[in-house]
Structure formats: C-alpha cells, structure tokens
Structure 1
Amino acid sequence: MDPHLLTTFVTVARHGSFSAAAAELGYTQSAISQQIAALEADLGLALLSRRPVEPTPAGRRLLEHAGPLLLRLRAARADVLRAAAVPRHRLRLAATPLAVNPVLALRLARARAEQPRLEVTLHTCGREEVGAMVAEGEADLGLADGIAAPSDPLRLPDAGPMTAAGVTEEELVVALDAGHPLAGRAALRLADLVDARWLQTPLCPLARLRDLMGDGFPVALDYQGDDVHTVVNLVAAGHGLTLLPASALPACGTAADRPVALGVPLAAPRLVHRVELLHGALPAGPAADLARALSG
C-alpha cells in the first residue's frame, strides 16, 4: 500500500472534500481523484462515497489503521536521521500541561546552568501529540503525565519505538472548593466520590476514573481546555471536583474576596501523578545530557 496514496486518502476523509485536500497537499483536484482511484483499485474496494464525500465502511476501517501506519513511517524516518544527526545545542522539549512540575522545572534550570550554550524551546500539547512529536523528530525529548499506581508505567499511545522512563511521582489530591462539605477531611477515598459532581477536563479524564472504579463520576461542567489556572479557578468557584498533583494547587491562605481551591489527599486507591520522559535514540551530546538531568 503506497503511503503517498494513504496520506491523500486520510486528507480527503478529514476535509470531506477533494478540492480542500488538493489545496493542502499541493495537487490538482484531478490528481487527488486519480490517487484515490488508484488506492481503491489496489484494495479492490470503494473507500469514499462521492456525494457527500465521506468514508465507506471499508474506508472507515482503513482510517483506523492509516494514522498509526503513517506515524510509524514518519517515526522510522526521524529515527534514522536522528542517529546520524550532528549534536545540537538548540533543543525542543514537548510536554503535557501538568508534566513540568516544580521538581522538573528545577532540574531543567540546573541543566541549563551546566550547559550555558543550551537553548530549550518548551512546547505544551496533549499526550498523544507529545509522543508523535518525539517519534517524528519534531521534539528531541518529551514529558508526559498521567494517573497511575505507584511505579506503574503510564498507558501511552503507541507512537513507535522510543524509551519511556518515569522521572517523578507525586501525591494526588482531590481539588475542591473551600466551602465544599468535604473540604475539612484529612483524606478522601475515590469510592466515596463516585456520586459527587466532577469537572470533566483533559487534565483528569473521568474515563480514567471510571476504568478504576466503574460507573459514576457525573459531569458538572465539561472544560475542553488544558490551562491549569482555569481548572483551579473553576474548582474554586464550585463547578466540580477533580484530581490534581499536589503541586498544581497554589498555596491557600484566607481569601475573603475570592474563591479558593483546596486539595485533600487521596487515601484510596493508592494512586500517584506520574511523569515520564520520552525520547528516541540519543547519541552523546546536549540532548542526552538533558535527558540525564531530567531523570534526576
């Protein structure tokens, strides 16, 4: 199966338009049509209906495979180029929004102090994008976070061959507003919170909690962004509970003029906020040195 034809198919399916795909890929609309026809002839199946332009059942099944296949091809290319690359002092670090905790921020500062020529660009994005950026060579290193049992690895999307190693683990707390009936507890169990009103956020997907505890965790507010400050403000104003690493909550004193979010330790089940460092093959040089520094 020709990867160029597969890329064209994915692009047409994403846009629902031959002309839009042609504009993105730099082909004529006729050339796009010919490429789709060639792919359909290779498989002996219709992959796209024409009016409207949308995947057929066979096309939908192919789309399930196409993304991972194309990613692995890009990852293979990046891995070969990375192995032969000249070490650079300008590095790109991809990280999920909660990954750069105070410990890792300090380790990064020490690494930069030890390597005066080192220039680091930090790019925050979702967990899947972190892995893809590292696999494709768009980032030299990645930091991904998530909820896990102590010492257990994160369940990261497969983005090709790369090393993933835990670099920090931190206590999780139940974030709630200061006026919540449970705010005075010394600790909370997740089993006692399945019927509470929760904030749905990519920082703490409720699907992960349901995997652990079964049904429950009703959504009080669905926030699709990943800004930690916004999540803390929503919790403080009573829009719902969430789980956060303890370091994500600001120090809370008295604040009569504004709502305050509090963190109550999670007693059971035993879970932690885990951060893992992702990277491909790292020849000796600044990237390898930074990886060691972030690993502590």
Structure 2
Amino acid sequence: MADLDLRQLTTMLAIAEEGTFSRAATRLGYTQSSVSQHIAALERSVGGAVFDRPGGPRPVRITPLGAVVLEHGREVLAKAEALGQAVDRFKAGEGRIDVGTLQSVSHAILPTVLRLLREEHPRCEIRLSEPDEPRLGELDLLFHDGLISDDTEHVRLMQDPYLAVAPPGALPAGPVPARELDGKAMVAWPSTFDQPRLEQSLADAGARPRIVFRSAGSETILSMVRAGMGLAVLPWLAIHQVVCRDCGAIHGPEGWPDLQVHDLDPAPARSICLHWPRGRAAESPLVARTVEVAVEVARELAQQAPPALP
C-alpha cells in the first residue's frame, strides 16, 4: 500500500462514475493509456483487480475488492481536499491562533484588534486566554507588560503610564509628587506581572504606601477607593475608558463620589509588549497580520495617553 497515491484513487473514482476508461480519461484530461497505467499501479498496490473489464464499449464493473478500495478511497480524497482547503485558508490568513492576554489589554486593545481581523478574515479562529504565568507555551501570541524571554520575538506596542486615583481632596491638585503617597492606604493589584516593579518604582521615589487590599479587578479597586479604603495607582489602559475627557475625573454611580485622576512625578510606566515564538510570524500569515493590526491599534491608542512627565 506504500505506492498508493491520490491520482490512482481519483482515476478509480472517475472510472466508477463514468463507466469506462475512455470517458474517465476525457473527464480527467488524461490519455486512456495513462488511466490504464494508474489502475494497473493501484491494483499492484492492493494486490488484486479493482475492475472487471468486459472489453469493448460495455461499462466496467467494480470488483468486491474494488468496492472496498473505493469506499475508503472516497474518504481519503475528501480528507485530502479538506486538507488542501485548510492549507489555502491558512495561507490566506483564515487559520487559527491562540492568544494570551492580560486584563487591561483585553479591555482596551484586543476588542479593536479582533474586530479588524474578523472584518478581513471572517473565517479565522482566535482563541483567547489570560494565563497566570507570562510564558508562551503553546500560544502563538502573548500580550504582556514587559519582556518575558530572550527566546521569543516581540514588539513594544506602547508605554502605559501609571496614574494615581483618589477621592476628591485626598491628594493635591495637578501632578502629584510620588513621595506624597508614602504611608497612605492603597488598594492595589496582586503582586503579579508588573505590580512588583511599580511598587519598587514608588519606593525608589520615596513612597511606600500601605497596601490594605489587593484585587485583580480594576473596577473592584475603583469601588474600594470610592468606599474610602485608600487610593490606587493604576495604568492608564486600565481606566482610560472611564475617565471623563472634559474634567479628567472618574464619575461614580449616583450617591458615590467622583474620583480624581492625577499624574505622578516621577511618572512610572509599564511597557506593553506582544511576544511570539521565533519564526512563527513568518510561518503563519494570520500571526503576522495580528501583530501588524495590534501595532496599528496601539499606536492610535497611545496618542490619547497622557504624556510622560519630565
């Protein structure tokens, strides 16, 4: 069976459907001798005749062995056609990618990236996850706030500045010296991803806030700040959609205070990066296009971010 090939099965199927070698040859664009050679090679591979040949214009009849070969041959040809279509879709950017992300990117960057990709490639499949650890593993792409490994390729999408969020009057108006946060109660993200680096940056500026509560949810953190638990330092991406463009405040629900947003001086920031395994962008058009779209979306978004303080 090692010598069996798809041309032989295609020829056999054409003969079974057309009834004669000559009509099958016409259908396939082969000479009749080529059709005979394909069937002879197929019969050598399976060890027996697949057609009874009555001769003359009378149609051929499939043998019991031929019926078995044809039944499974149809499945093989269907799978081969599906494989060819899948390869064509992959080359056209209609494949599947697995993307790891983090909350603020899922909130601010990915929705636009996904919309644009699906407009271009409506049949592409994009599977998302928010991994606990910043590693690629089986992922095709990983958004992360910083670099993860020398074994990956990456692009830096944008700088995401951290901002102080506090109840009205809790901090001086305007840009706030980071040292003003020293000793103050603070609601913060868990000590994962970029949070330890942020807290070290604050400490280097002379600020060691008292962490009174940690949560991975930015909305939860803002609710705790409104409730008087403390202030917060959050990246712009995590809050930009709720910051009022006219007054720079985060409006609270009815009966709750608005929150004031302050630049920090010095201004800590995190780098939002997109990582992928070496060579993957060259191998997968969909991965390459996703990187391009993410860069475009992040560039436009970065133009809205507050400038870093000198």
With structure 2 as the length reference, what TM-score do the two structures score?
Answer: 0.54
CA displacement 1:25-63 (0-9 Å, x = unmatched): xxxxxxxxxxxxxxxxxxxxxxxxxxxxxxxxxxxxxxx
What pairs with 1:199-214 in structure 2 (closer than 5 Å)? 199-202=187-190, 205=195, 208-211=198-201, 213-214=203-204
CA displacement 1:170-197 (0-9 Å, x = unmatched): 332111223x421x61211212222222
SS of match in other structure, 1:258: coil
What pairs with 1:170-249 in structure 2 (closer than 5 Å)? 170-178=160-168, 180-182=169-171, 185-202=173-190, 205=195, 208-211=198-201, 213-214=203-204, 216-223=207-214, 225-249=215-239
SS of match in other structure, 2:233: strand
What pairs with 1:264-283 in structure 2 (closer than 5 Å)? 264-266=262-264, 268-280=265-277, 281-282=279-280, 283=283
The corresponding residue for 2:103 is 97
Aligned partners of 1:207 and 1:245: how far apart in 2?
13
**Residues 217 and 279 of structure 1: is their aligned pair in 2 closer, same or farther, counting only changes over 3 Å?**
same
Aligned partners of 1:278 and 1:213: how far apart in 2?
29
- Alignment RMSD: 2.7
Shift of 1:105: 3.0
Alignment pair present for 1:169 and 2:165: no
What pairs with 1:1-296 in structure 2 (closer than 5 Å)? 89-126=95-132, 129-130=133-134, 132=135, 134=136, 136-137=137-138, 139-145=139-145, 154=146, 156-158=147-149, 161-178=151-168, 180-182=169-171, 185-202=173-190, 205=195, 208-211=198-201, 213-214=203-204, 216-223=207-214, 225-249=215-239, 250-251=242-243, 252-253=250-251, 255-266=253-264, 268-280=265-277, 281-282=279-280, 283-296=283-296
Shift of 1:254: 6.2
Aligned partners of 2:213 and 2:253: how far apart in 1?
26
Please tell me whether the aligned partners of residues 162 and 267 of structure 2 are also in contact (alpha carbons under 8 angstroms). Answer: no
With structure 1 as the length reference, what TM-score do the two structures score?
Answer: 0.56
**Residues 232 and 278 of structure 1: is their aligned pair in 2 closer, same or farther, counting only changes over 3 Å?**
same
Please tell me whether the aligned partners of residues 103 and 130 of structure 2 are also in contact (alpha carbons under 8 angstroms). Answer: yes
Identity of aligned residues (%): 17
Shift of 1:141: 0.6
Structure 1, unaligned runs of 5 or more: 1-85, 146-153
Please tell me whether the aligned partners of residues 197 and 241 of structure 1 are also in contact (alpha carbons under 8 angstroms). Answer: yes
Count how many residue pairs are aligned between Structure 1 and Structure 2. Answer: 191
Matched to 2:187, the amino acid is L
CA displacement 1:206-239 (0-9 Å, x = unmatched): 563235534642324132x412221221122222
**Residues 205 and 190 of structure 1: is their aligned pair in 2 closer, same or farther, counting only changes over 3 Å?**
same
SS of match in other structure, 1:239: coil
Structure 2, unaligned runs of 5 or more: 1-89, 244-249, 297-310
**Residues 101 and 254 of structure 1: is their aligned pair in 2 closer, same or farther, counting only changes over 3 Å?**
closer
CA displacement 1:226-282 (0-9 Å, x = unmatched): 12221221122222222212342323336441244332122x213334210011121
Aligned partners of 1:212 and 1:254: how far apart in 2?
27
The corresponding residue for 1:82 is none
Please tell me whether the aligned partners of residues 95 and 143 of structure 1 are also in contact (alpha carbons under 8 angstroms). Answer: yes
Aligned partners of 1:231 and 1:265: how far apart in 2?
18
Please tell me whether the aligned partners of residues 161 and 267 of structure 2 are also in contact (alpha carbons under 8 angstroms). Answer: no
Runs of 4+ aligned residues of structure 1 deviating over 6 Å after TM superposition are none
